[in-house]
Structure formats: C-alpha cells, structure tokens
Amino acid sequence: MSLKLFWLKLCAQFVVLIGASAGIFYSTDAGYFDVFYHRIASSKQKSLIIGSSRAAQGLIPEVFNQKIKTKNALPVFNFAFTVAASPFGLNYLNSIKEKVEDNVTDGLFIVTIDPWCVSSDPGEIAHGYTREADFNIYKTWLKNVNPNVDYIIRENRRLGDLLFLHERKLLVHKDGWLEVTIPMDKISIEARTKSKLAEYLKHKQEYVESKARWKYLKETIAYLQTKGNVILVRLPIETRMIAIENSFSPYFSRKIQLLSTDMRVPFFDMHPLSPKLIFNDGNHISKVSAYQISEILADTINQIFYQPKNK
C-alpha cells in the first residue's frame, strides 16, 4: 500500500469516526444546544401540540400524559417550534403529516393559535417567499430517525458546539417540551419584557394577516380531524402583549370562535388567566406557570372529549 493511499484511508476512517461520534453525541445531548433536533429526530407520534414558541415552552407533554383520561391518545408530543419556523403554511402542514403515525384515528391535537402565525412579514410580501422555507427542519430528507445525520450535516454545527456546552439555559426534552431556565427576579423579567414588547410593536407595524396562512390553518385542522380530537387554544400572554395583539388584530378571538363553529372544533381562550401567571418575557410563560396552564388545559380537554358517557 502506498503512503498516499494509507493516509487517505486513515483520513476517511477518522472522518467516519468523528461523524459517528458527533451523531451519537448530538442525539443524546442535542436538547441543550439545538431547539429543534429532538422534534425532528423523534419517531412518529400519536398526539401533537402544534404552534409557535409559546406552545413549545408553555405546554408540557408530561402533564397531559399524566392527566388525560384515556390511554388511547397518549403519549402527547410537543411539535411546536417558533413564530418564524412554524407559522401555518404548507411546510408546517407537511411536516405535521410526516410526524403523525399513519393509522391514528384517536389521537389528540392541541392547535395553538395567535395572530402572528397567520400573518406574513415584509420580506414575504415583497419577495413572495415564506419565512419558514429556509429552516432545515423542512429541508431534511430523513425525518423521524435518531441520530439524524442529514439534519446534523445541514445544520453544520461546529465541533465546539458539541464539546463545549456553556450556559445551559435551554433544554428540549425528548417529548419536545422546551424548558427555559433563566433569572426570574423582577428586574430581569421586566428587562426581557420591554425588549420583547418592542419586538412585537415592530411586528405590529410590519406584519399583515395572510389569507394563505388562514387557508393552511383550516387545512391543518381538517387533516387533524381525520386523526382524532382537535382543540384550538389561544395561550396566555402578559397583559401588555395582549394589548399589542388586540391592536394588531382586534377581533382575532372572534375570528377563531367563528372558525371553531364552522369546523366543529372547540376553542379555549386562555387570555383571561394572564393576570394570575408569571411570564419569562411577556410573550413566553414561565416554567412554573407552564405547569399550571398545562394542568388547566388537560382538565378542559378531559371535560370536552373524555367524560364518561352516561348509560
């Protein structure tokens, strides 16, 4: 064997070894540094939580899996991403279809809604693209496999990201829930809230509600109705954030109520709970309050769908 061939084989083996090691490490510890990986790499699921980061942080599958009164719909998996990555559209709908088990007819689907998930930003309007299209959660060919080498390669994570995980503020659990651990003193909360309010005031000036996104919301609901029970939920947000949303879309809850009636799916507006809850930044609910609203929503779901039938 020539020296050149020897080194080529050695390099190839080294690359394979590093790739395999990174894949194994990524699949076991990705929850700390990639907020999407476990949702893409998990197997197909029977029941889903759907929506943006409000749902990703605010609804805890563990609570639903403990409280829902039928095993037929369990387990529940959190398949919510962010307002940028998972507004209602063709990409998210196709991804949901790929995630749901093929033969499910008795699943449970919690579809969280807000005005931003059925709206488009200036770039989409000006250039005719969808803001979620460039996310690798949609470009990955092989989904529902772990380790997911395709996704890892597309994300192009630096080795340092794998080996040196610094402040572990975010943890995506294997059930899809995004747990956020950050300082919760009043000064820190207010600083984050002011920043988030400024961000959404800018959204208010730039975003417009989209007929196409409303259409895909309806198509998503219609598809999920073939797979089991569907409930629409408007999650609580801080009162100042509610004011921004109401000025952006004054009749949004009314629109969802009409949609609920038209498509025969229940709608639970959780905004009235907001004054009693704690928020990380006005937009996302705190970890403690996430347990509270998950329990309240689970009890509501039991009352709607899983009450014992009178003989």
Average pLDDT for the chain: 87
| Spans of the chain, pLDDT less than 70 | 1-33, 156-168, 309-311
Strand-pair partners of 230:
109
Q: State if pTM tops 0.85.
A: yes
φ, ψ for residue 33, nearest 5 deg: -135, 0
- 136 with 230: CB under 8 angstroms? no
Q: What is the pLDDT of residue 12?
A: 42
CA distance 168 to 33: 8
Assign 208 to helix, strand or coil. Answer: strand
Identify the pLDDT of residue 164. 47
Cα separation of 240 and 224, whole Å?
Answer: 33
pLDDT on residue 124: 83
Q: Tokens 């063709």 sit at which residue?
A: 90
pLDDT at 293: 98
Tens digits of residue pLDDT in 197-219: 999 999 999 999 999 999 999 99
Structure tokens at 303: 């009352």
Residue pair 227/109 in contact (Cβ under 8 Å)? The answer is: yes
Distance CA(215)–CA(57), nearest Å, equals 26
Q: What is the pLDDT of residues 152-207, one digit of tens each?
A: 777 765 444 544 444 568 889 999 999 999 999 999 999 999 999 999 999 999 99
Domains in the chain, start-ordered, CATH in brackets? 44-129+171-305 (3.40.50.1110)
Q: How far apart are CA 281 and CA 194, in angstroms?
A: 8
Angle at 270 between CA 121 and CA 185, to 5 degrees: 80
Q: At what angle do helices 211-225 and 252-263 cross, to 10 degrees?
A: 40
Cα dihedral 218, 219, 223, 226 sign? positive
pLDDT in the model for residue 267: 98
